[in-house]
Amino acid sequence: MINTKDILETISMIQDENLDIRTVTMGISLLDCIDSDIDKACDKVYKKITTYAANLVPVCKDIETQYGIPIINKRISVTPIAMLAAACPNADLVKFALTLEKASRTVGVDFIGGYSALVQKGFAHGDRELIESIPEALAQTQHICASVNIGSTKAGINMDAVKLMGQVVRRAAELTKDQECIGAAKLVVFCNAPEDNPFMAGAFHGVGEADCVINVGVSGPGVVRAALHKLGKEASITEVADLIKKTSFKITRMGQLVAREASSRLGVEAGIVDLSLAPTPAIGDSVAHILEEMGLESCGAAGTTACLALLNDAVKKGGVMASSHVGGLSGAFIPVTEDAGMIDAARSGALTIEKLEAMTAVCSVGLDMINIPGDTPAEVISGIIADEAAIGMVNSKTTAVRVIPAIGKGIGEELNWGGLLGGGPVMAVNKHSPAVFINRGGRLPAPLQSLKN
């Protein structure tokens, strides 16, 4: 029989330390729904999603009951809609978003991701039109997420897209200014976007994927923090790293179990487990608090980047052995408004956008869920996107930008959404203008992959 201590450890992780499965995401290919008549295409999209995902929510609920482990979100990711848009020129693309919204309500999922375009090297038919329709699509829907990949290590950075995305992010916030600018919180700009990411807002179903797959994202910052707390302040960094690896292994094993169960019950191929430590605004579920438990007075202090690098690496090392297939973003997330410790650090001034940028060089995503002043010009947002994409491009890693211009608000004021998105203060950004650089357009060449120093 399993040892009593192990059983109680699992129960206390779930009961007291907020261990949960963050998301079970069904990836569905919509390539067979392409049609030159947008209404026909929308019909096919609706039918395919509601057929494939009909049992997704009930199956996840059964797994929750049987294993006693909460599954917080059930989501769907689809083929980037720009590929469907390419076939129907001059159509009103928001129809696709409304169709996805209708499908999400029918099957009862929390989000559908994939109102997306991949333009790292250039715009194909449909790409520019889709990107321009994003603000309207996000304003008219509640459960749809959009993403745009504007750069990659192999292709470089599409600076025309960077310029456009600065305007699109602003417009998304402006159109939803009555709802705390939530449009911009559902839009992420990527460099090196993974094609099997189960997390929102950046999930889409890549073209190299199978027709339908199940990807699972775990959570568990609270578990790591609690384990470090028990370890005490005298332990060496070697011991800290070892303990994080062991804890991450356990968390990921649970994700693997849920992925296997969900895929076999739904009769769908198991895709990947995403090892990310995803925080929530709930007390005790914060990545910042893990860094503080390692010995920082506050997240944002000198040493934050080093602690995060250790955490991110140890999470991967522990998780990789626990799962048959690892993918997605897999690392530590640092979304400011979704993390109680980050919110406190941002409010107190300990954490700045420049420090967050440095942190993104060593962790899994990028500048995520950061509220910026409402009067920030589009060129400055584009500049932030270009900087973040450059970090991702040069370091062969995924980076992203999800900033929310708080329309009508300034530094120190707050945006609050509640739920998983949380809320937090507006943070200062550098006001000097990169306008000339951004307006040049063109392509930033891909970096050399040798002579590394």
Partner 1 sequence: MRAVITVVGKDTVGILAKVSTLCAEKNVNIIDVTQTVMQDLFCMIMLCEIDKLSGSFASFADAAKAIGAEQGLSVHVMHEEIFNSMHRI
Widest CA span of the chain, in angstroms? 68
Token code pair at residue 89: 């020129």
Pair type for strands 111-118 and 156-158: unpaired
| Least distance to partner 1, CB of residue 255, Å | 10
By CB under 8 A, which span of 1-9, 83-91, 183-191, 381-389 interacts with partner 1? Answer: 1-9
CA distance 416 to 423: 4
Coil vs helix vs strand at 290 = helix
Q: Please identify, using beta-carbon distances, which residue of 14 and 172 lies nearer to partner 1.
A: 14
Q: Does residue 95 interact with partner 1 by CB under 8 A?
A: no
CA distance 80 to 302: 40
Q: What are the residues facing 332 on neighbouring strands? A: 277
Q: Does residue 6 interact with partner 1 by CB under 8 A?
A: yes
- Candidate list 42, 53, 69, 365; residue touching partner 1; CB under 8 A: 69
- What ranges make up the beta strands (E) of 268-363? 269-274
How big is the site for partner 1, counted in residues (CB under 8 A)?
22
Residue 420 gets which letter from DSSP? G
Q: Please identify, using beta-carbon distances, which residue of 201 and 223 lies nearer to partner 1.
A: 223
Name the amino acid, one letter, at 277: L
Binding mask 348-367 for partner 1 (x = CB under 8 A): --------------------
Q: Does residue 8 interact with partner 1 by CB under 8 A?
A: yes
Q: Is the omega angle on the peptide bond into residue 201 within 30 degrees of 0, that is, cis?
A: yes
Q: Please identify, using beta-carbon distances, which residue of 230 and 432 lies nearer to partner 1.
A: 230
Q: Does residue 68 interact with partner 1 by CB under 8 A?
A: yes
| Least distance to partner 1, CB of residue 110, Å | 21
Q: Please identify, using beta-carbon distances, which residue of 80 and 217 lies nearer to partner 1.
A: 217
CA dihedral 290, 292, 295, 298 (to 10 degrees): 160
Coil vs helix vs strand at 78 = strand
Q: Please identify, using beta-carbon distances, which residue of 10 and 352 lies nearer to partner 1.
A: 10
Q: What are the residues facing 405 on neighbouring strands? A: 372
- Candidate list 46, 67, 123, 437; residue touching partner 1; CB under 8 A: 67
CA distance 90 to 77: 25
Q: Which helix (H) or strand (E) holds 214?
A: strand 212-218
Q: Does residue 254 interact with partner 1 by CB under 8 A?
A: yes
By CB under 8 A, which span of 4-12, 115-123, 146-154, 236-244 interacts with partner 1? Answer: 4-12
| Least distance to partner 1, CB of residue 178, Å | 41
Distance spanning both ends of the chain, measured CA to CA: 53
- What ranges make up the beta strands (E) of 119-183? 144-152, 156-158
Q: Does residue 3 interact with partner 1 by CB under 8 A?
A: yes
Binding mask 369-408 for partner 1 (x = CB under 8 A): ----------------------------------------
Q: Does residue 242 interact with partner 1 by CB under 8 A?
A: no
Q: Please identify, using beta-carbon distances, which residue of 7 and 31 lies nearer to partner 1.
A: 7
Q: Does residue 250 interact with partner 1 by CB under 8 A?
A: yes
CA distance 386 to 225: 33
CB of 86 within 8 A of CB of 434?
no
Distances (CA, A) of 175 to 134, 153, 380: 11, 33, 19
Q: Does residue 257 interact with partner 1 by CB under 8 A?
A: yes
By CB under 8 A, which span of 248-256, 328-336, 347-355, 393-401 interacts with partner 1? Answer: 248-256
CB of 258 within 8 A of CB of 69?
yes
Q: Please identify, using beta-carbon distances, which residue of 229 and 431 lies nearer to partner 1.
A: 229
Q: Please identify, using beta-carbon distances, which residue of 246 and 431 lies nearer to partner 1.
A: 246
| Least distance to partner 1, CB of residue 64, Å | 10
Q: Does residue 58 interact with partner 1 by CB under 8 A?
A: no
Residues that bind partner 1 (CB under 8 A): 1-11, 15, 65-69, 250, 253-254, 256-257
